[in-house]
């Protein structure tokens, strides 16, 4: 069931990895709702980040929901390891380059007891995810091309956020609408205005002096 409060999910991709446990404690204390784990394999995206081991480290440090974003090929093959590592929600990509059967993988995530997420890149039209909306709990609209934190927000992605919010209007079981990439106080406000309710932010939180102020600003408080 989608949450009607604004959820802030800091991406640990931007955290100080020499002190990951401390960073997880700090963002929890600062008011984070979820911990966003950006997994990259160097194939689906042109970067390598981390695997289930780091998700497990985060799991040991917090009770907050772990929102795992798999920017990898063959997510179906690796899924069990992220479930075992303690993922609460697992998001996979709809693009053919992700090399998995989307319907099968979404069911696999559901059967594993995790919340089901589907993501689309900026170049992927909203139509690509429409056939799957009734099978997911969360739609992740990428507002940058995935691979690196700190990229500029792409405002034209708001059209997709609006389409997802429109879809929600006709549904009893609403999906969370998450945005990821270049999210700061200003782009968070724009995303919320267009219908997003989950904000992933890496740079704007972890590069801030005061994490709780950064999180409050994202919420528009
Ligand atoms: C894909 C990653 C990034 C990261 C957030 O590249 O998913 O979007 O989480 O990046 P920033 O630092 O822009 O918040
Ligand atoms: Zn992400």
41 is catalytic: no
Cα dihedral 51/27/142/98 (nearest 10): 10
Beta-carbon contacts of residue 118 (< 8 Å; ≥ 6 apart)? 91, 92, 93, 94, 102, 106, 129, 132, 136, 138, 139, 140
Structural domain includes residue 1: no
Domain membership flag for residue 177: yes
Rounded-to-integer distance, Cα 97 and Cα 99, Å: 5
Q: Which atom of ligand 1 is nearest to the CA of 14?
A: 12
185, part of any domain = yes
Tell me, in angstroms, the distance from the centre of ligand 1 to residue 208's CA: 15
pLDDT tens by residue, 130-142: 999 999 999 999 9
Active-site option among 38, 67, 76, 137: 38
Å from CA of 6 to ligand 2 middle: 17
* Domain count within the chain: 1
Question: In whole angstroms, what is the distance from residue 191 CA to residue 170 CA?
Answer: 20
Ligand showing the shortest atom-to-Cα distance for residue 204: 1
pLDDT digits (tens, 9 = 90+) for 50-101: 999 999 999 999 999 999 999 999 999 999 999 999 999 999 999 999 999 9
pTM for this predicted structure:
0.97
CATH code of residue 15: 3.20.20.70
For residue 63, give its domain range.
Answer: 7-219
DSSP conformational letter for 12? G
Q: Which of 33, 76, 137, 180 is catalytic?
A: 180
User: Ligand 1 centre from 179 Cα, in Å?
Assistant: 10
Residue 35 lies in a domain: yes
Residue 2 lies in a domain: no
> In Å, how far are 23, 44, 55, 128 from 58, measured between CA atoms?
10, 23, 5, 32
Per the annotation, the verdict on 180 as an active-site residue is yes
Query: CA nearest 9: which of 209, 179, 187?
Result: 179
Low-confidence ranges of the chain (pLDDT < 70): 1-4
Establish whether residue 10 lines the binding site of ligand 1, counting it when its CB lies within 6 angstroms of any ligand atom: no
Atom of ligand 1 nearest to the CA of 143: 8
Determine, yes or no, domain membership for 126: yes
Contacts of 140 (CB under 8 A, 6+ apart): 69, 91, 117, 118, 119, 120, 178, 179, 180, 200
Does ligand 1 have an atom closer than 6 angstroms to the CB of 146? yes
* Substitution candidate for ligand 1 out of 8, 14, 72 with most atoms within 8 A of CB: 14
> Which DSSP string do the residues of 77-90 spell out, in sequence order?
HHHHHHHHHT-SEE
Distance of CA 99 to the CA centre of its chain: 20
Chain mean position to CA 79: 16
Residue-by-residue DSSP string for 117-182: EEEE-TTS-GGGTGGGGGG-SEEEEESS-TT-SSPPP-GGGHHHHHHHHHHHHT-SSPPEEEEESS
Distance 170 CA to ligand 2 centre (A): 27
Nearest to 40 by CA among 16, 84, 72, 13: 72
């Amino acid at each position: 069931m989608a949450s009607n409060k604004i959820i802030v999910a800091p991406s640990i991709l931007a955290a100080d990895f020499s002190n990951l446990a401390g960073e997880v404690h700090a963002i929890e204390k600062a008011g984070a709702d979820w911990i966003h784990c950006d997994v990259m394999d160097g194939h689906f995206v042109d970067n390598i980040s981390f695997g289930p081991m780091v998700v497990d480290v985060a799991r040991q440090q917090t009770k907050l929901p772990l929102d795992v974003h798999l920017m990898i090929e063959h997510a179906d093959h690796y899924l069990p390891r992220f479930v075992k590592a303690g993922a609460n929600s697992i998001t996979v990509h709809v693009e053919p380059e992700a090399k998995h059967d989307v319907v099968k993988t979404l069911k696999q995530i559901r059967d594993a007891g995790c919340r089901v997420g589907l993501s689309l890149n900026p170049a992927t039209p909203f139509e690509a995810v429409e056939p799957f909306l009734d099978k997911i709990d969360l739609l992740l609209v990428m507002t940058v091309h995935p691979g690196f934190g700190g990229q500029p927000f792409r405002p034209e992605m708001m059209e997709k956020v609006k389409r997802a919010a429109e879809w929600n209007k006709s549904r009893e079981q609403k999906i969370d609408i998450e945005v990821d990439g270049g999210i700061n106080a200003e782009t968070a406000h724009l995303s919320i205005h267009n219908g997003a309710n989950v904000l992933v932010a890496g740079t704007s939180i972890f590069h801030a002096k005061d994490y709780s102020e950064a999180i409050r600003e994202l919420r528009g408080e």
